[in-house]
Amino acid sequence: MMRVWTGAAAAAPALESPPMWRGGPPAKRWTRGVVVLLACAALAGAASGAALSTVIAVYHVCFDRENLPDLGPFARFEFPTIGHVYDRNRQPLIELAREYRHITQYADIPPVVREAILAAEDKRFFSHNGVDYLSMPRVISKVRVGAWGTRLLTGGRRDNMRGPAIFPQGGSTITQQLARGVFLQRQTSQENSYQLRSLGILPRALSSVIGARNVNMVIRKREEIGLSLWIEQQMRRQFGSKRRAKEEILARYASFVYMGDGQYGFARATEYYFGRPLSTFTTEDVDKAALLAGIAKSPRDYAPSADDAVPILRRRNQILALMAAQGFISRDQMTGAQQRPLPDFVPRASQPFRSSAVVEHVLDELESAHADLSIDDLLQGHIQVFSTVDARVQRIVSDALEHGLERYERRHPGARGVVQGSIVVLKNRDGSILAETGGRQVYHGRATSYSDFNRVRQSLRQPGSAMKPIVYLAAFRHGDFALETLVPDEPISVPNGVEVEPKWISNYDGRFKGLIPIREALAESRNAVAIWITTQIGIDAILQTSRSLGVQTPLQRYATTALGASEVSLLELATAYRTIASGVLAQPYVIQRIVRHLGEVVDEKEHRSRPISMADGTLALIQEGLRGVVRIPTGTAHALDSRGFPIAVMGKTGTTNEFRDALFVGSTYGVDGITVAVRIGFDDNRSLGPSETGGRVALPVFQEVMLKVYRDGIVGPAPAFPDQMEQRITGYLQGDAPVLVSQAAVSSTAGGMGSER
């Protein structure tokens, strides 16, 4: 019988030819009477329940002060803001935030914007104590009695169906909106659920009358009102007067409220939508102030967009009318502002991010080196990070990589958009990173972001012949070798596994030159010589030297490690060359200092560096050898010895097996110089193609970076190499250099390697 009352009786369609009984058939009159009695009983129960609920609610709102949230961050104005990573000149590299917001003090909100906010949201804001009781009759008049009646007549079956809630939205003061947004986010997000969120006896009883969804809303509203009264009371105590408390609350509202498209607060919205600071607004901008004030009600509907402008225009004009009605502006001002068109809004195009690898490095260093800080601190704007990067160098590096890839793609059109590269620039003095590009700006049609793969640090690849300077430095440290020592450029083999034919080493040009000076072998990147030296000094000497230069990745104890067969990161390779150029051992770093939002410096460490331990003159030998790679006409980097490149550099090319990677790493001299490392190759390790060597692919990128950095005076003048060093190279070129013959080389040439093949 109950199912008939609560379902079919209420929803039964009218008969086409009803019997002519007065008041309907007896059965229908009886059913309707029962429904009326039940409704009256429900109303009576609701009235008594409402009375009890009212008493409890008043006590809770006015007197219950248990389990209150911590008001400290609110009072201190510690809302989530924007974290920045700055360059060494305090230029922002990126903004990082979960909520993109600028904190705005009351005095920084122009009067026209304050008036627009108050007209739109809370005209009696400065007079009430958190709750506007005068607006309650208007809110109560909007209670959807019909929806309540339907709920009663259906016995709650519509509780789990879509439809309007009994209680309307709106009527909240600015303080209530803040209380809801700051302290009641979870309750607000759950209140539209048809599942009762409070398990108390009274909420369960009330849900049978008005439904679980509406009970959730009532409980949230009760919490909101209580918090609003408490917030205003505490803010008055904090700031000494009602007026000052109100000003602070309004400033927090103007900074906190969501303004659409990921932007929070009026200051951020003004910059985002109008491209100008909030502080520039005057009475001439009343139309824009009204537009901004209208966004807070529903950013989805009223935020400026390139779509439907009608609701935005209507909302703006409503607020202008409210401002005139409340005496904030004159009727003439209102009419003039309402006649203005909406300002143009062009969605911001996503630009490739030039500093993605830098930011990835910053985030990693932040987490690994600062146990008491996290990425979340940066995302909430609690800290600001000042990096070692120079944005000017970063732009040069990013452009140079793109230009280098474009040149390669013109030779290989099928590689367009997929060939990759990376560059890092270090200061020689301390290893600080001036620029870091971990990949091209657009890869496979997608712009890079700071979460992308950083090929400077995360990619371990073979360095090829760029490894050879470490081999020669190990030989100089061994004590039996100098730049003029003659060494054999002859056929030589290395073990290739048990019961497998040995691997014969060849040079790039396919020729062998016999006894040649080490200076020449290094300049021309002779593979056979590098392997022969390894057999003389042992692979362990090379591994030890690599570690002393800052290479931390374990290298394989194979002879072919001398030719770059072991994998390292580009940053480690750059660090080794930087150490050679400066004589100073220091690990690379990218964070200069960290500052909290109140200006407290969290960390500004002195990064440790120390001179490397080597015998006198040893380091100068490898520096001179690498300078010879550039100055000797047959050197693999001789293209850098020209009038068009008036910068004295030393460096080395690198080309890996089957032309998979092309590298160039080079430096200007001493602690005042810089080191630049470039690597170009495919992520899937395919070949770049025949003759695509480090000298052809990577060296021009290095050249562009060095030219522009020194041309623009970013790092000062290029340091000169010592005169004696340059004169010795000149003497070699003129045939005046002495010749030193290694006894081991003579023995090998006479009866060793040449006869093995």
HEC assignment per residue over 639-695? HHCECCECCCCEEEEEECHHHCEEEEEEECCCCCCEEEEEEEECCCCCCCCCCCCHH
DSSP 567-629: -B-HHHHHHHHHHHHHSEE---B-EEEEEETTS-EEE-PPPP-EE----TTHHHHHHHHHHHH
Q: pLDDT averaged over the chain?
A: 85
* CA 151 remoteness from chain centre: 49
Percentage of residues in the chain having pLDDT higher than 90 = 66
Please state whether beta strands 83-86 and 383-387 pair in parallel, antiparallel, or not at all (unpaired).
Answer: parallel
The backbone torsions φ and ψ at residue 445, rounded to the nearest 5 degrees and listed phi first, read 80, 5
Give the chain's count of helices (H) and strands (E): 31, 21
Per-residue pLDDT, averaged over 269-284, amounts to 94
Are 493 and 504 in contact by the 8 Å Cβ rule? The answer is: yes
> In terms of pLDDT, which residue wins out, 515 or 8?
515
Q: Is the pLDDT of residue 583 over 70?
A: yes
pLDDT at residue number 167 = 53
Query: CA dist 211 to 11, 53, 154, 161, 663, Å?
Result: 20, 15, 11, 11, 71
Q: Is the pLDDT of residue 504 over 60?
A: yes
pLDDT at residue number 47 = 45
User: How far is Cα 704 from Cα 645, in angstroms, rounded to an integer?
Assistant: 9
Q: Is the pLDDT of residue 314 over 50?
A: yes
From 257, 154, 272, select the one nearest 209 (Cα to Cα): 154
Q: Is the pLDDT of residue 597 over 80?
A: no
Task: Give the least confident one: 3-12, 351-360, 572-581.
Answer: 3-12
Query: What are the structure tokens assigned to 544, written together?
Result: 């030890």
User: How far is Cα 257 from Cα 264, in angstroms, rounded to an integer?
Assistant: 6
**Paired residues of 494 in beta bridges:** 503
* CA 704 remoteness from chain centre: 28
Residue 131 makes CB contacts below 8 A (sequence gap 6+) with 173, 175, 176, 225, 228, 229
3-state helix, strand, coil in the chain (%, to 5): 50, 10, 40
**How buried is residue 610: exposed, middle or buried, by Cβ count under 10 Å (0-12/13-18/19+)?**
exposed
User: How far is Cα 107 from Cα 502, in angstroms, rounded to an integer?
Assistant: 81
Are 454 and 357 in contact by the 8 Å Cβ rule? The answer is: yes
User: How far is Cα 692 from Cα 680, in angstroms, rounded to an integer?
Assistant: 10
pLDDT at residue number 751 = 43
pLDDT at residue number 345 = 79
CA torsion through residues 19, 23, 24, 25, sign:
negative
- Band of the pLDDT at 756, cuts 50, 70, 90? very low
- Band of the pLDDT at 205, cuts 50, 70, 90? low
Residue given tokens 């083999």 in the structure block: 493
Q: Is the pLDDT of residue 637 over 80?
A: yes
Are 652 and 413 in contact by the 8 Å Cβ rule? The answer is: no
- Band of the pLDDT at 449, cuts 50, 70, 90? confident
pLDDT at residue number 746 = 62
Q: Other CB atoms closer than 10 Å to residue 353's CB: what's the count?
A: 18
From 262, 243, 453, 286, select the one nearest 361 (Cα to Cα): 453
Q: Is the pLDDT of residue 542 over 70?
A: yes
* Residue range 453-490, pLDDT digits in tens: 999 999 999 999 999 999 999 999 998 899 999 999 99
pTM above 0.85, yes or no: no
From 546, 504, 547, 507, select the one nearest 523 (Cα to Cα): 507
Query: CA dist 511 to 507, 528, 576, 699, Å?
Result: 6, 10, 30, 24
Per-residue pLDDT, averaged over 714-743, amounts to 89
Q: Is the pLDDT of residue 384 over 90?
A: yes
The backbone torsions φ and ψ at residue 79, rounded to the nearest 5 degrees and listed phi first, read -85, 155
Are 602 and 592 in contact by the 8 Å Cβ rule? The answer is: no
User: How far is Cα 176 from Cα 224, in angstroms, rounded to an integer?
Assistant: 6
Per-residue pLDDT, averaged over 425-441, amounts to 96
Q: Is the pLDDT of residue 12 over 60?
A: no
Q: Is the pLDDT of residue 654 over 90?
A: yes
User: How far is Cα 338 from Cα 657, in angstroms, rounded to an integer?
Assistant: 71
- Band of the pLDDT at 308, cuts 50, 70, 90? confident
Pick left, alpha or beta for residue 725 (phi over 0 → left; psi -120 to 50 → alpha; otherwise beta).
alpha
Q: Is the pLDDT of residue 565 over 60?
A: yes
* Residue range 158-197, pLDDT digits in tens: 444 455 555 555 569 999 999 999 998 887 776 665 666 6
Q: Is the pLDDT of residue 1 over 60?
A: no
* Mean pLDDT comparison of 210-214, 357-361, 448-452, 674-678, highest-scoring range: 674-678
- Band of the pLDDT at 207, cuts 50, 70, 90? low
Are 409 and 638 in contact by the 8 Å Cβ rule? The answer is: no
Are 177 and 125 in contact by the 8 Å Cβ rule? The answer is: no
The residue type found at 127 is S
pLDDT at residue number 483 = 97
pLDDT at residue number 697 = 98
Q: Other CB atoms closer than 10 Å to residue 208's CB: what's the count?
A: 17
Residue 159 makes CB contacts below 8 A (sequence gap 6+) with 151, 194, 211, 212, 213
User: How far is Cα 148 from Cα 283, in angstroms, rounded to an integer?
Assistant: 46
Q: Is the pLDDT of residue 3 over 80?
A: no
pLDDT at residue number 254 = 97
Residue given tokens 């992520």 in the structure block: 683
User: How far is Cα 475 from Cα 479, in angstroms, rounded to an integer?
Assistant: 7
pLDDT at residue number 370 = 86
The backbone torsions φ and ψ at residue 78, rounded to the nearest 5 degrees and listed phi first, read -100, 65
User: How far is Cα 481 from Cα 220, in angstroms, rounded to an integer?
Assistant: 83
The residue type found at 229 is L
Q: Other CB atoms closer than 10 Å to residue 428's CB: what's the count?
A: 26
Query: What are the structure tokens assigned to 729, written together?
Result: 């190279």
Q: Other CB atoms closer than 10 Å to residue 352's CB: what's the count?
A: 15
User: How far is Cα 415 from Cα 261, in angstroms, rounded to an integer?
Assistant: 36
**Helix (H) or strand (E) run with residue 434 in it:** strand 433-437
User: How far is Cα 164 from Cα 11, in angstroms, rounded to an integer?
Assistant: 19
Length of the chain: 757
Per-residue pLDDT, averaged over 511-535, amounts to 97
Q: Other CB atoms closer than 10 Å to residue 158's CB: what's the count?
A: 15
Per-residue pLDDT, averaged over 608-627, amounts to 91
